[in-house]
């Protein structure tokens, strides 16, 4: 299989902007980094002359740690910024904040921001390499990359595979990035959840909608369980958590009742007992911790490939 | 200048046999010695030599591995070409072992330098030796010399040495060509 040797983009703003060859190149490079991070000495010197700023205008544990670890494994210099206790509260604009940071000779920006489109906006206004680490309800490209990579590792090429995304599709950036990534790799995507949490435009993405959870599971090779994003909800979208759990919670009984063994994924953080029971989350079918491990390799691959395009 | 054939398949076969005998002479049963090919082309050569050693001296404990040096190269972001990695396959520790690094052509010495750095991630070898098929002497940028050398070639900087290899174990020829880009 021929794989391109260069990304088609200079920033990673969303999966929407990548082509299938980009995904394959990132996965192939991640294979190499996965081998590196399983060595006794897990560090390579590739980015030793690169400085990366992690700008987190929104809370994060996993993504932030994963990016930071990936940067350190690549020998990059790392600056960490979080909005609490910063000049953001003094009224500074996003562009000013970032330009100030870039004046300190920073080469690459990893940004998480609560506003959808924040990283696209930034890329149009500043001259630097930007990686979107989640922008509001829009995209979370590295999560989708690591999800697709982890799944491919388990079940092989995703072409014609059926992948189900369950839960709060409306408020989830993971859902949108996942849909783009799986489709670019040739998979069929179905979303499932309460009608109130499935956005109206979803059919324009060529995605199937299924309200009946068990029926949807029966036709799937893998399921990605999403969390209810309470922090992004200004109103009530379903009667009660209890009712949501009854209809859309993934339990061992449901998994056992379907005739195929499907892979269970979760981007974290898990709300045990809500969208997924502990029994399922800790079962053999779940690849949740593989996803976390692969996250470091995928982020190393993305930063390595983007850094190679820096002038 | 037309491409100049430096070696044909028979000559390469003789050279590789000689190098294999030299290794057998120095390391006997290869109890404490490992052969590591530098990806991508040194890996082929290492496979070939390991096969020859198995043939010439069947009773050996030679371990073979492949080392990718991409992430240790010093020309990342400095060359026009994007550096894409190959796989590293080292199923053993190099701690206290004598490592024989294998590559097809030794030119500036920078690849070997990267390999010397990369190998440290897998332990502290007792010693590292270098086996090379073609040594382009007079073009070194670092103080690196081979311990086992197939053939020394005098070449200009704008020339290229091409080692043609049909399958991994069938070496065809070695050519010296003028590289218009270089």
The pLDDT tens digits for A57-84 are 998 889 999 999 999 999 999 999 887 7
Cα–Cα distances in Å, from A48 out to B8, B24, B77? 43, 40, 11
Q: What does pTM read for this prediction? A: 0.90
Q: Does A114 score more than 70 pLDDT?
A: yes
Phi, psi of A205 (to 5 degrees): -90, 5
Contact yes or no for B71 and A32 at CB 8 A? yes
Report ipTM for this prediction: 0.82
In-domain check, residue B164: no
Residues 6+ apart with CB under 8 A from A45: A75, B71, B72, B117
Residue B92 sits at the chain A interface (C-beta within 8 Å): no
Q: Of the candidates A138, A152, A167, which has an alpha carbon nearest to the alpha carbon of residue A268?
A: A167
pLDDT score recorded for residue B182: 44
Fold agreement between A15-139+292-307 and A141-288? yes
Say if B163 falls within a structural domain: no
The per-residue pLDDT for range A153-186, each reduced to its tens digit, is 999 999 999 999 999 999 999 999 999 999 999 9
Decide if B56 contacts B24 (C-beta within 8 A): yes
**Band of the pLDDT at A85, cuts 50, 70, 90?**
low
- Closest to A308 (Cβ–Cβ): which among B72, B77, B86? B77
Q: Is-contact A141 A87, C-beta < 8 A? A: no
Q: Nearest Cα to A269, choosing from A55, A59, A12?
A: A59
E strand map for chain A:
51-56, 77-82, 108-113, 129-135, 162-166, 188-192, 208-210, 222-225, 263-265
Say which residues have a Cβ less than 8 Å from residue A32's Cβ, sequence separation at least 6. Answer: A301, B68, B70, B71, B85, B86, B87, B88
Q: Are A213 and A192 in contact (CB under 8 A)?
A: yes
Residue B165 in domain: no
Is residue B168 in a domain?
Answer: no
Helix (H, G, I), strand (E, B) or coil at B149: strand
**Cβ contacts (< 8 Å) between B120 and chain A: which residues?**
41
Q: How many helices (H) and strands (E) does chain B have?
A: 3, 8
- Residue B77 touches partner A, C-beta closer than 8 Å: yes
Predicted local confidence at residue B172, as pLDDT:
85
Cα A270 off chain centre by: 14
Identify the pLDDT of residue B165: 84
Q: Is residue B153 part of a domain?
A: yes
- Dist CA B182 CA B81 (whole Å): 13
Say whether pLDDT at A242 is over 70.
Answer: yes
pLDDT band at residue A87, thresholds of 50, 70 and 90? low
Query: Domains in chain B: how many in total?
Result: 1
- B59 found inside a domain: yes
pLDDT at res. A40: 86
Residue A51 burial class via C-beta count within 10 angstroms: exposed 0-12, middle 13-18, buried 19 and up = middle
d(CA A34, CA A130): 23
Find the domain containing B118 and state its range: 8-72+86-157
Question: Phi and psi for A30 in degrees, rounded to 5?
Answer: -65, -35
With CA atoms as reference, the chain A residue closest to B74 would be A46
**CATH number of B43's domain:** 3.40.50.2020
Query: Which CATH fold would you assign to the domain A15-139+292-307?
Result: Rossmann fold (3.40.50)
- Contact list in A for residue B86 (CB cut-off 8 A) is 32
* B164–A contact, CB cutoff 8 A: no
Q: How far apart are the C-alpha atoms of B39 and B177, rounded to whole Å?
A: 22
CB contact under 8 A, B83 and A308: yes
Residues from chain A that touch B92, judged by Cβ atoms under 8 A, are: none
Q: Which residue, A112, A227, A117, A229, is CA-closest to A165?
A: A227
- Report d(CA B174, CA A4) in Å as an integer: 28
Q: Suggest the residue from A304, A306, A310 to mutate for an interface test with chain B (most B CBs closer than 10 A).
A: A304
**Which H/E stretch holds residue B148?**
strand B148-154
Of B81, B85, B118, the CB nearest to A29: B85
From the CA of A146, how many Å to the nearest CA of chain B?
A: 19
Q: Cβ separation of B121 and A40 shorter than 8 Å? A: yes
- Number of C-beta neighbours around residue A198 at 10 A: 21
Which residues of chain B make contact with A41, given a CB cutoff of 8 A?
120-122
Q: What is the pLDDT of residues A2-37, one digit of tens each?
A: 667 889 999 999 999 999 999 999 999 999 999 999
CATH number for the domain formed by residue range(s) A141-288: 3.40.50.1370
- With a cut of 50, list the residues of chain B below it in pLDDT: 182
- Does B172 map to a domain? no
The structural domains of chain A, with segments of one domain joined by +, span 15-139+292-307, 141-288
pLDDT of residue B1: 67
Contact B49, B66 (CB under 8 A): no
- Which residues 6+ apart lie within 8 Å of A188 measured at CB? A160, A161, A162, A163, A208
């Amino acid at each position: 299989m021929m794989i391109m040797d260069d990304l088609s983009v200079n920033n990673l703003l969303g999966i929407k902007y990548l082509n299938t060859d980009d995904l394959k190149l990132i996965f192939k490079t991640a294979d190499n980094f996965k081998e590196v991070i399983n060595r006794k000495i897990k560090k390579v010197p590739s980015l030793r002359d690169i400085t990366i700023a992690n700008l987190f205008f929104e809370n994060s544990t996993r993504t932030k740690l994963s990016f930071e670890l990936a940067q350190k494994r690549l020998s990059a210099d790392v600056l960490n910024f979080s909005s609490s206790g910063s000049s953001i509260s003094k009224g500074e604009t996003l562009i000013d904040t970032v330009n100030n940071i870039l004046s300190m000779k920073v080469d690459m920006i990893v940004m998480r921001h609560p506003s959808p489109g924040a990283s696209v906006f930034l890329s149009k206004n500043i001259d630097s390499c930007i990686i979107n680490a989640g922008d509001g309800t829009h995209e979370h490209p590295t999560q989708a990359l690591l999800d697709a990579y982890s799944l491919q590792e388990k079940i092989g090429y995703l072409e014609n595979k059926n992948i189900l995304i369950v839960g709060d599709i409306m408020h989830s950036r993971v859902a949108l990035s996942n849909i783009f990534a799986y489709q670019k790799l040739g998979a069929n995507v179905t979303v499932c959840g309460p009608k109130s949490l499935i956005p109206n435009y979803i059919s324009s993405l060529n995605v199937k909608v299924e309200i009946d959870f068990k029926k949807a599971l029966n036709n799937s090779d893998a399921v990605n369980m999403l969390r209810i994003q309470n922090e992004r909800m200004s109103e009530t979208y379903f009667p009660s958590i209890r009712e949501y759990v009854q209809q859309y919670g993934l339990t061992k009984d449901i998994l056992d009742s379907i005739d195929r063994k499907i892979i269970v994924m979760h981007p974290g953080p898990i709300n045990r007992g809500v969208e997924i029971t502990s029994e399922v989350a800790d079962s053999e079918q779940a690849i949740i911790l593989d996803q976390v491990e692969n996250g470091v390799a995928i982020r190393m691959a993305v930063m390595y490939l983007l850094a190679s395009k820096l002038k | 200048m037309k491409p100049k054939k430096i070696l044909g398949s028979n000559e390469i076969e003789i050279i590789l046999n000689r190098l294999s005998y030299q290794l057998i002479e120095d390391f006997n049963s290869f109890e404490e010695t490992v052969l590591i090919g530098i990806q991508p082309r040194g890996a082929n050569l290492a496979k070939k030599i390991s096969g020859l050693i198995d043939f010439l001296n069947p009773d050996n404990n030679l371990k073979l591995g492949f080392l990718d040096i991409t992430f240790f190269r010093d020309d990342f972001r400095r060359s026009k070409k994007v550096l894409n990695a190959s796989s590293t396959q080292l199923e053993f520790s190099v701690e206290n072992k004598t490592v024989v690094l294998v590559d097809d052509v030794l030119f500036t010495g920078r690849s070997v330098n990267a390999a010397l750095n990369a190998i440290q991630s897998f332990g502290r070898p007792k010693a590292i030796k270098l086996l090379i098929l073609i040594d382009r002497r007079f073009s070194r940028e670092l103080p690196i010399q081979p311990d086992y050398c197939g053939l020394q070639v005098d070449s200009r900087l704008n020339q290229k040495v091409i080692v043609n290899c049909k399958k991994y174990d069938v070496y065809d020829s070695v050519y010296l060509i003028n590289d218009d880009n270089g």
